[in-house]
């Protein structure tokens, strides 16, 4: 199904940027509760986009909408649209499993399968009916994840035997082995030491040459180092005492951190709240 994108201009969205994902007037609900309110933004292809903001502002909730992981929550539903490759991802004709194959996810805590290093990477291609040379694909994916040289002699060993940073790179290799278009990362460095964090950041900068990356991070220094675009979200109390997230500002990262348009953004990046 094709669609016509609205022609509204979002600050920081260059006309030269090719759009990989787009949220249009997106409202995220759990039952009758509006958890994230009226988000519209365009995610540029082959860029790193960061979502920042205080806890409870809906960053991870929004991220999981992009590959329909929130569908697993019974009360979840949305109003508005999310588009990928001219396709409304929430159309009834769209298979969520296919969405998750094209839009992969790396989680906060490394979660290798209880399998060998090789089988962790090969798992996705196998269940998706990959017909090529699996050995080559596993090696290529591990090389892309900058892990091959560290594990090439122990591919039959358990992925759980690796260090935390190596496990996270293994999870990244597992994600890109199915050759997605987009890689979502939900605080991928939160459980890692500074050296492992640096390796993941360097890896992301390499991966954006081939993939579009969207990352949720509480680490503002990380967002300022690695991302091309940044969206700042905040949270407000509702009449019923709940918390509701909303997007305050979306722009080039350099503008968010040095010349934000909104006072809320300026206060947050300066450490005055959150």
**Is residue 159 a part of any domain in this protein?**
no
**Is residue 88 a part of any domain in this protein?**
yes
**Is residue 141 a part of any domain in this protein?**
no
Cβ neighbors of 38 (< 8 A, separation 6 or more) are 25, 26, 27, 80, 246
- Rounded to the nearest 10°, the torsion over CA 1, 68, 144, 85 is 20
**Is residue 137 a part of any domain in this protein?**
no
**CATH code of the domain containing 44:** 3.40.50.300
**Is residue 7 a part of any domain in this protein?**
no
Sheet of 48-52, strand order: 87-88, 76-84, 19-30, 33-44, 243-252, 229-237, 48-52, 212-216, 182-186, 103-106
**Is residue 89 a part of any domain in this protein?**
yes
**Is residue 13 a part of any domain in this protein?**
no
Does the reported pTM lie above 0.75? Answer: yes
Q: What is the pLDDT of residues 77-124, one digit of tens each?
A: 999 999 998 899 999 999 999 999 999 999 999 999 999 999 999 999
Q: What is the pLDDT of residues 220-253, one digit of tens each?
A: 999 999 999 999 999 998 877 788 999 999 999 9
**What is the DSSP code (8-state) at residue 94?**
S
Query: What's the total number of domains in the chain?
Result: 1
**Is residue 77 a part of any domain in this protein?**
yes
CA distance 80 to 67: 15
Determine the structural domain holding residue 72 and report its residue range.
19-110+181-269
């Amino acid at each position: 199904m094709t669609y016509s994108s609205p022609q509204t201009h979002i600050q920081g969205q260059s006309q030269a940027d090719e759009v990989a994902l787009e949220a249009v007037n997106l409202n995220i609900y759990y039952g009758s509760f509006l958890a994230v309110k009226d988000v519209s933004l365009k995610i540029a292809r082959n860029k790193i986009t960061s979502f920042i903001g205080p806890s409870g502002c809906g960053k991870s909730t929004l991220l999981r909408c992009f590959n329909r992981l929130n569908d697993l929550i019974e009360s979840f539903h949305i109003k508005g649209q999310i588009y990928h490759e001219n396709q409304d991802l929430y159309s009834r004709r769209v298979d969520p499993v296919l969405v998750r194959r094209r839009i992969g996810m790396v989680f906060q805590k490394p979660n290798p399968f209880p399998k060998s290093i090789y089988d962790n990477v090969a798992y996705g291609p196998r269940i998706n009916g990959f017909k090529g040379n699996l050995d080559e694909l596993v090696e290529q994916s591990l090389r892309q994840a900058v892990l091959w040289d560290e594990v090439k002699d122990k591919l039959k060993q358990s992925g759980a035997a690796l260090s935390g940073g190596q496990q996270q790179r293994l999870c990244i290799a597992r994600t890109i082995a199915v050759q997605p278009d987009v890689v979502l990362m939900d605080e991928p460095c939160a459980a890692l030491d500074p050296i492992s964090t640096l390796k993941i950041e360097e890896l992301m900068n390499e991966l954006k040459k081939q993939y579009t990356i969207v990352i949720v991070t509480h680490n503002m220094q990380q967002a300022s180092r690695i991302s091309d675009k940044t969206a700042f979200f905040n949270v407000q109390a509702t009449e019923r005492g709940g918390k509701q997230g909303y997007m305050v500002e979306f722009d080039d990262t350099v503008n968010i951190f040095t010349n934000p348009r909104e006072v809320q953004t300026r206060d947050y990046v300066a450490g005055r709240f959150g």
